Amino acid sequence: MISFNSFKQKAFLGVYLFLLIIFPLLGVSCQKNKQPPPSPNVSSIQADLEQKNRDEYPKVEFNRFGWVKIKGYLFQVQLAITEEQLRYGLMFRKELAKDEGMFFIFKEEKPRAFWMKNVPIPLTVAFINRQGVIISIKEMVPFDESSTFSDGFAQYALEVKSGRLKELKIKVGDKIQWGEFR
């Protein structure tokens, strides 16, 4: 048995036992009163962000429509021709049918870069040169703000539902035809 002869030893033992009993009680009482922070309402945050982005990128009207034909398959497309349409693209589009897309018509042939800011659906983009030959095909991920580059000079680009070109066995080197509905 340990003997505590001095007053200091007895005082130390008293304080030690007091703390040994009190601290766990304090911890338990703090935990009981502590409530988890409220979880954010994800749909509310997403709606706020979408509204902010819509304010930054006001809706652009696409009033010209056309078609793109590749290996006998016909896509119905919106034509992006003006600077505003070329910048806006498929932003905020929530769905795209397997035979729909957007056809980008640029004034000159040069290396191109696309991004997926504010685009909530996965897409495949085909970059096409002035002669109508597909020079590269790339998959793009929703909301990805990094650039997806063409593998050369392109004057046109076709965006369609992700994986659709692969499904149709459309590949680099295939030739396209396109036209406008009147």
What pLDDT shows up at residue 182? 74
Report yes or no on 167 lying in a domain.
yes
What pLDDT shows up at residue 121? 95
pLDDT at 88 over 70: yes
What pLDDT shows up at residue 46? 55
Domain membership of residue 133 as a residue range: 61-180
pLDDT at 162 over 80: yes
Please list the residues that pair with 164 across neighbouring strands. none
Average pLDDT over residues 30-54: 54
Q: How far apart are CA 123 and CA 132, in angstroms?
A: 20
How many alpha carbons fall within 13 Å on the CB side of residue 28? 5
In terms of average pLDDT, the best of 4-18, 40-54, 84-98, 132-146 is: 132-146
Report yes or no on 39 lying in a domain.
no
Question: In the chain, where do the E strands start and end?
Answer: 65-70, 73-80, 100-114, 123-128, 134-140, 148-161, 176-180
Report yes or no on 37 lying in a domain.
no
What pLDDT shows up at residue 61? 80
Report yes or no on 80 lying in a domain.
yes
Report yes or no on 36 lying in a domain.
no
pLDDT at 96 over 70: yes
Number of domains in the chain: 1
Greater confidence (84 vs 63) lies with 84
Report yes or no on 29 lying in a domain.
no
Q: Which residues contact 72 (CB under 8 A, 6 or more apart)?
A: none
Mean pLDDT of the chain: 83
Find where tokens 């009981």 sit. Answer: 32
Tokens at residue 76, please?
């119905």
Report yes or no on 42 lying in a domain.
no
Q: State pLDDT tens for residues 11-31.
A: 555 655 555 565 555 554 444
Start-to-end CA distance of the chain, whole Å, equals 104
Average pLDDT over residues 89-95: 92
Q: What CATH number should be reported for the domain holding residue 103?
A: 2.60.120.1140
Report yes or no on 79 lying in a domain.
yes
Tokens at residue 62, please?
């696409």
Tokens at residue 12, please?
């130390």
